């Protein structure tokens, strides 16, 4: 659902063109592998706030607060978003490596610039 809402930005097109669009991925149950180790520490302003860990032997994701609860107020939405991101990394990093997307306009401009430079030097 979240990716569907970003389709207009992904394709650099008006939002109206994607009002009825839907993006979904279906994976076979055999593709899931959460056996790896995961560790991430979250901090702000020179202080670590909490850590998220998962051992290779366990499926449990452990979230540990690293500061006094009274000293720091972390918005619940921020914690939920960070945990959701950790779960996505654990489940999908092996299936989907980080993508490299080159926009055709930028690639075309780079090729045109090189051609223009080549033509300029040829004329001299």
Looking at residues 74-88, what average pLDDT do you find?
A: 87
45 and 100 belong to one structural domain: yes
> Is 18 found in the same domain as 36?
no
- Domain of 27, in residue numbers: 1-31
The verdict on 100 and 45 lying in the same domain is yes
pLDDT of 89 strictly over 80 = yes
53 has pLDDT over 90: yes
Question: Mind listing the pLDDT tens digit for each residue in 64-78?
Answer: 888 887 777 878 898
Contacts of residue 82, defined as CB under 8 A and 6 or more positions apart, other chains included, come to 42, 52
41 and 17 in a common domain: no
Of the pLDDT bands very low, low, confident and very high (cuts 50, 70, 90), residue 33 is: confident
Residues 27 and 41 in one domain: no
Q: Within this chain, do residues 25 and 48 fall inside the same structural domain, yes or no? A: no
- Would the pTM of this model clear 0.75, i.e. be above it? no
């Amino acid at each position: 659902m979240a990716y569907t809402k970003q389709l207009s930005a992904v394709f650099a097109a008006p939002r109206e063109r994607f009002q009825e669009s839907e993006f979904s991925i279906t994976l076979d149950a055999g593709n899931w592998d959460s056996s790896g180790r995961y560790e991430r520490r979250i901090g702000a302003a020179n202080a670590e706030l909490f850590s998220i860990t998962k051992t290779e032997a366990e499926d449990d994701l452990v979230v540990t607060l690293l500061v006094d609860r009274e000293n720091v107020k972390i918005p619940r939405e921020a914690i939920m978003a960070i945990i959701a991101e950790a779960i996505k990394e654990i489940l999908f990093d092996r299936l989907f490596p980080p993508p490299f997307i080159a926009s055709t306009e930028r690639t075309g401009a780079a090729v045109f610039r090189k051609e223009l430079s080549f033509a300029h030097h040829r004329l001299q």
